[in-house]
Amino acid sequence: MKRIIYVGTLTALLAACATAPQHSDQIDRARAATETLAAEPMAQQAATDDLAAARNNLQQAETALQNKQPMTEVDHLAYLAERHAQTGQARVATAQAQAQVNNASGERSRVLLEARAREAQNAKDQLAAAQQQLADLKAKQTDRGMVVTLGDVLFDTGRATLKPGAMAVLDRLAGYMQSNPQTRLVIEGHTDSTGSQATNDELSQRRADTVASALIQRGVSAANLQAVGKGPTLPVASNSTAEGRQQNRRVEIIFSDHDGRFARGDSGDPAMR
């Protein structure tokens, strides 16, 4: 009797095992990998074929499991599904990295363009400001470049000491040089023909030196200045009249361009050419 009960119980257990649904851990892994890939925002763009292949193999594996195909076949199909999903995830990661690079490159280009635009605008603003400063100084364009003429009202007759009225002009001139530190100046002293050549040469040099010293005191680099006494050799009017002699008693300031070059390159100092 006991033997009959044992055989019946064993038969029932075998029947239960035969009807119990099979399970595949490989399918679970494949399903998780496929769902992860499908959830990626860039999956449809970067891994369309991989996602389709993963879903197809996963469906085949699940069908094989339901049809009680050999587990080796089921797991193989699930493995293929997982591999396709992993490959797709790798493609998505690559696409995301490339997008970041492209975004960074685009941002860098935008920043560079904005910086260049600011530089160009700054240069334009500086040029406009420089032109306005020269206009305030009553600079004139000549074949020697921009020239500012300071009349003899800067000095008492026969002297090289600056009058108080000269300070405003020198302040503006120093302000221009500080805003344009690359500019260089040749400061030329000129006299009328009254008196000896030697006296006029010495006076014109002292007056040019006085203007240069005043600019240096106002912060202009001495390396950017050259003072030259021309005496009575370059009159701009006749010395036969008082008015003409007054015009000849002057200090001329010749400006270089923004690269420090003079229009005619005829500065007396080779270092200033």
First-last CA distance in the chain: 128
Answer with the one of 129, 156, 177 that is the final residue of a domain.
129
Q: For residues 141 and 267, state if they share a domain.
A: yes
Query: Between the CA of residue 211 and those of 26, 134, 258, what are the distances in Å?
Result: 94, 17, 21
* Antiparallel, parallel or unpaired: β 145-151 and 140-142: antiparallel
Q: Any residues with CB less than 8 A from the CB of 267 and at least 6 apart, and which?
A: 186, 226, 273
Q: For residues 165 and 250, state if they share a domain.
A: yes
pLDDT of residue 131: 84
Mean pLDDT, the chain, rounded, equals 87
Answer with the one of 129, 153, 182 that is the final residue of a domain.
129
CATH, residue 209: 3.30.1330.60
Higher per-residue pLDDT: 38 or 266 = 38
Answer with the one of 77, 106, 129 that is the final residue of a domain.
129
**Whether pLDDT at 69 is above 50:** yes
DSSP type of residue 219? T
Q: For residues 81 and 30, state if they share a domain.
A: yes
Give the integer Cα–Cα distance in Å for 50 and 263. Answer: 71
Q: What is the 3-state secondary structure (H, E, C) of 132-177?
A: HHHHHCCCEEECCEEEEEEEHHHECCCCCCECCCHHHHHHHHHHHH
Q: For residues 125 and 145, state if they share a domain.
A: no
Q: For residues 169 and 94, state if they share a domain.
A: no
Q: For residues 191 and 254, state if they share a domain.
A: yes
Give me the residues paired with residue 187 across strands.
227, 253
Q: What is the pLDDT of residues 13-65, one digit of tens each?
A: 444 444 445 899 999 999 999 999 999 999 999 999 999 999 999 999 999 99
**How many separate domains does the chain show?**
2
Structural domain boundaries, residue 45: 20-129
- On whether residue 14 sits in a domain, the answer given is no
The continuous run of DSSP H or E covering 9 comes out as helix 2-19
Query: Between the CA of residue 95 and those of 43, 85, 167, 196, 259, what are the distances in Å?
Result: 10, 15, 68, 88, 49
Q: For residues 216 and 109, state if they share a domain.
A: no
Q: For residues 207 and 120, state if they share a domain.
A: no
Q: What is the pLDDT of residues 180-214, one digit of tens each?
A: 999 999 999 999 999 999 999 999 999 999 999 99
Q: Any residues with CB less than 8 A from the CB of 238 and at least 6 apart, and which?
A: 244
Note the pTM of the prediction, 2 decimals: 0.58
